[in-house]
Structures are given as C-alpha cells and as structure tokens.
Amino acid sequence: MDLEEMQKETGGGRVVSIDALRGFDMFWIIGGGALIGSLAKVWPHPATETIERHLHHVRWAGFHFEDLIYPLFIFLLGAVMPFSISRRLGRGASRGRLYLHIVKRTAGLILLGLIMNGLLRFDWPNMRWAGVLQRIGLCYFLAALIVVHTKWRTQAVFVVAALLLYWAVTMLVPAPGFGAGDLSAEGCLSSYIDQQLIPGRLYYGHGDNEGVISTLPAVCTALLGALAGQWLRSHRSGSRKVIGLALAGVVCVGVGYVWGLAFPIIKILWTSSFVLFAGGWSLLLLALFYGVIDVLGFKRWAFFFIVIGMNPITVYFLQRFVDFSDIAAFFVDGPAAHAGIYAPLVLPFGAVMIRWLLLWFLYRHKIFFKV
C-alpha cells in the first residue's frame, strides 16, 4: 500500500496508530488466528473455545471477530486517504497526476488479485474473477474519487444514501424465481446479479463474496474510514478525537445491530447493517489505538504490529505462493516434538514468526512495497 504518503496531523510524522492497527488486522491473516485459536487445544476452557469459535467466519448471517478483519482493512484504507491525497495536492500535484496515481494503484491491486486467483494459468472458464484485492482496488478507486471531489458532509450523505439504497434494492427487488427480500444464498438478488455478470467460478456457487452490487456498501466502509481520517486531521485535541471516534463507533454498532434485526448482518452480502456494525467496531479500535499510541505516547508495545502494517499487501500476496508453514516446520518440528501439551502452539507460532521476520527485514532496510 502507499503508506509512505500518510502524514500525521502535527509535526510531519506518521499517525503511528493507523500503521499499528493495520498490522494488528493483518496479524490474524498471516497466522495469528491459527496461533490464538490453538489455545483451545492447549487449555480447553469455555473462554478459549469461545475465542477459537470467533476466529472462524459465520456461515451466512451473524458476526464473529473473524468477520471484522476484511472490513477493518478497507476502513483503514479509507482512513489514510485524507492524509495521502492532501499531501499530494500540497506538493503541487495536478488533478491529472492525482487521477493517474489512483488509476495506477487500482490497476495494480486488481492485477495482483487476478494473479492470485490464477490469471497466469489461462483457464478462464474455471477462474474466479472476483476477489479480495479486486474489491479493495475498486473500493479505493471509487472512494478516492469521492474524497477528492467532495467535503466530509457530502461523503456522509453519500454513505447514508447508498446504504439505504442498497437496503431498498436488496429487500424490495426480487430475484427471478424467488420472492422480494429473500436473503438466502440461492435466492438473494446479489447472487442472481453475480450469475448474470461475473464469468468463471463464483466463490459460493450461487454468487460471489465480492459480488457486483455488494461493492457499493463496501465503498461506504472505505468512506467511513475516510471520515475518521478527516476527523484525525482536524485541529481538535487528541482527547476530543478519541472521544469523537469512540462515540461514533458506539452509535454505528448500535444502529447496525438494530438494523440487523430487520436487515440481517451478512458479511458475504456486505449488508448495510454489516457496514455499520463492522464500521462501528473499526472506529472503536481506531479510538483505542490512537488514544494509547498517538495521544498517550505508548508506542513500544505496538512495534510488532507496526512492522506488519508497513508491508501488508506484500505478505498477503506472498503467502499465496510461499508455504510459510512448511518453512517453519523445518525449524520447529524438533522443538514441537518435545513441547508436550504446548505442541499445538509451536508450529503456528513458528509460521507467524517466519512471516514477521521477513517483514522485519524489509522494515529494517526501509523496503516498503507499494501498489
């Protein structure tokens, strides 16, 4: 990601909490989930079993911690936009150069996503064309254009209008052969549209997790992040910023939960209630990280996550092609054999550390791969 363009609201430094929170988010993707989930094998207890359960996606409707990881990343992508865009404009970049940067970055993310999905195999009929990086690229493109051309009030109005529109279309327009408001995998409007417009393989058969119309509310997730980023860029005191983020987070979680009683929280469909519920938790996490790291100044504990957060796409892309667990097994199989009851933790820990050491090497040598 283009992380070097993010600037802090004072002193020309970085908003370290955004790097740390991005790293915290990526930690679960690069093996942290498997590591923490293994605690249930070592210490069977209702608490560890609950944690382990939350480290798996819900099948359809509902919300686990695992379901926050993806929207949190898109939220943070949006949170960086006010910093990076304002810095580019402040350096005298023309609108044309800014548009070119947005297009190039979008194309890079989409291309990486397609390569991860098997583009170079040239098996078009069986390839999955939608994907995580493709959605991130589209969300970046649309949200960045909106942030460039509008003020925060217009962005907030767009979010509200888009979420209401998505709710109305999803609940009132029936898919052929099914009734209006059918939110099942086979009967929802999103699945029907994906079948008509997306070639190749669909992720869950009836439709795709990164479907066509669900991209609109995903853009709203990025815009919620952009609104949070503009709040952080303001001249308010650090404590006021933390309180504002926390209050907004509580409101979004509450509204998302209540709306979810009528319009269920479904990550795969990226329902409007899911946007607000996940966005609320993202705001609360940002308030926590910003308050502890940037306001109170406790940064050392976050170094582990900052290293991950500085090269997030790098490790996400690499682990598609590099078997880090196999590499870790080469080094830790011996210790694991003598670890007794702690054996289930050894390999997941080794796999995480192999990834982290690679990222630390890049960080140490100031190598930050940008898309």
pLDDT of 267-292, one tens digit each?
999 999 999 999 999 999 999 999 99
Judged against a pLDDT cut of 70, whether residue 13 lies above it is answered with no
- Distance, C-alpha 333 to centroid of its chain: 33
Confidence (pLDDT) at 2: 38
Judged against a pLDDT cut of 70, whether residue 6 lies above it is answered with no
List the alpha helices (DSSP H) in the chain: 16-27, 33-37, 39-42, 46-54, 69-90, 95-116, 132-149, 152-172, 189-197, 215-233, 238-260, 272-289, 303-309, 312-318, 324-337, 343-364
- Alpha-carbon gap, residue 89 to 75, rounded angstroms: 22
DSSP letter string, 245-281 = HHHHHHHHHHHHHHHHTTS--BTTTT-HHHHHHHHHH
Per mean pLDDT, which range of 39-48, 85-94, 105-114, 345-354 is the poorest? Answer: 85-94
Judged against a pLDDT cut of 60, whether residue 10 lies above it is answered with no
Judged against a pLDDT cut of 70, whether residue 247 lies above it is answered with yes
Band of pLDDT at residue 7, cut at 50, 70 and 90: very low
Q: Residues 147, 149, 154, 157: what is their CA dihedral angle, to the nearest 10 degrees?
A: -60
- Share the mean pLDDT of the chain: 93
Q: Which residue has the tokens 């996490």?
A: 285
Confidence (pLDDT) at 154: 97
Band of pLDDT at residue 168, cut at 50, 70 and 90: very high
DSSP reduced 3-state for 128: strand
Confidence (pLDDT) at 284: 98
Confidence (pLDDT) at 335: 86
